[in-house]
Amino acid sequence: MAQSHQSRIELLRRSGLLEPEARVAFERFARLASSLLNMPIALVTLLDEDRQVFLSQQGMQEPWCSRAETPLEYSYCQRLLLQNGPLQVEDSLRHPDFQNHPGREALDIGAYLGVPLKLDDSITLGALCVIDHQAREFSQRDVDLLQDLAESVVSDIRLRLTSQALDHSQAHLRALLRQAPLGVFELCDQTETVRAANPMAGRLLGFSPADLLGHHLNEWVYPDDRPQLEALNSLWRQQENRCELEARFLRDGADPFWGRLHASLVTGEGHRPIVLALLEDITDYRTAMDQLLKESKELEELSLTDALTGLTNRRGFMSIGKKLMLVFEREVESAAVIFIDLNDLKKTNDSLGHEVGDEMICDFAQVLRDTFRQADLIARLGGDEFALLAANLEPAHESLLMARLETQLEQVNATRGRKYRLACATGMVFFHPKQSKDLEALLKQADELMYADKKRRKIGRL
């Protein structure tokens, strides 16, 4: 009961129903109740902490009419907080619960009929009631009419609360868009015309948001990179729900910067499809990546490359990987380490010779190159063990990646004249770069998951 009471009070305060300006929308209900039931007084009451507030009133005497409220102790309506149905008092003077009630004399209540205003099963906001100064009988028709009117009052209250919630959500959304650290664009039709933009979008492109409206997005893209925007066409054709692309954008129409655009198709009844696009400046990230690529080439000269496959070796994987982790910590939301074990290499070496075994290793290395992205760090750790460090991978991508790897393996295995069959076991660990920085520990976890994968496939290490 205490929880329901507190919820009622908080809701009434938050809704503004207790304020005088709310009464205009509810005035008709007291008039209708008074007229339909032929009663001199009708009230829509709201039960606050220590008072009974009139949301709508008809015929109430002074001083309560002007005050539009009474002390809560005068209220018959508060009894409805404890019962679900109507409260019917045909003669207050003779009723054992109300003959000594302080509201009987203060409000001159001879007869009372009230029904609760129930917002839901746990919250009753108040009541719709009618009052006569004299004792009188109430018919079932009177009760039914009052309940029908009460449902209309509750419907109007729900509409007000829904409208307030919508206004609050819209205001919150507008505030988020104004303060968002990313540029936000609303693009209409397949021309990528800007229909709306937030302040950050204007700052990124060097114009006010109003100046961006009606222009095509490609006007702010470096000419050589405009073909990258073709990825948006898959959204308009509804082949994809979202896409991501990187291109050089132009600030003030001249100063290029690297931007990453995240775009999603928004559809719904009653409006044409639009694309919502988020733009972030990744110039620092690209600069860091370019520096890392330069350093990786220098590291290759220091024998950090596997001589057989051309992949990074274990030492190179750990050295470059740790630097990548520092970049990921700032720029990447999710990443993954994959430990991969090439099956049956020892069997191939023993039965066909190490030369064929080396061919097997090189073929598998090429499969990994064809499967994963150029920006991913792929390494041969030694023997039949391989590893990969990749940004922007989440658990939802795992099945797709494994299916792509299996497809590449099948294509290689279908080649005629091959004396061995390529197969592997994998272990994949996903992590948040801001939380996980120990590459060695992540690699160990992935190794353990790889062994579990081998066990599931009933493959023993040879």
Cα 285 to the chain's mean position, in Å? 26
Write out pLDDT tens, residues 361-376.
999 999 999 999 988 9
CA-to-CA distance for 264 and 267, rounded, in angstroms? 10
The two three-digit tokens of residue 371, written as one number: 């499967």
The pLDDT value given to residue 270:
63
Residues (pLDDT < 50) of the chain are 1-3, 460-462
Write out pLDDT tens, residues 259-280.
999 988 887 666 677 888 899 9
Write out pLDDT tens, residues 84-105.
889 999 999 999 999 999 999 9
The pLDDT value given to residue 460:
47
Query: Nearest-CA neighbor of 427 among 460, 391, 392, 401?
Result: 401
Write out pLDDT tens, residues 47-72.
999 999 999 999 999 999 999 999 99
The two three-digit tokens of residue 348, written as one number: 């191939």
The two three-digit tokens of residue 244, written as one number: 């991501």
Query: Nearest-CA neighbor of 386 among 316, 441, 452?
Result: 316
The pLDDT value given to residue 69:
95
The two three-digit tokens of residue 237, written as one number: 């054709």
The pLDDT value given to residue 422:
94
CA-to-CA distance for 407 and 399, rounded, in angstroms? 12
Please tell me the number of Cα atoms within 13 Å of 67 on its side-chain side: 10
Tokens 């600069």 belong to 287
pTM > 0.85: yes or no: no
Q: Which domains does the chain have, with CATH numbers?
A: 2-172 (3.30.450.40), 181-281 (3.30.450.20), 285-457 (3.30.70.270)
Write out pLDDT tens, residues 167-218.
776 666 566 666 777 888 888 866 678 888 888 888 999 999 889 888 888 8
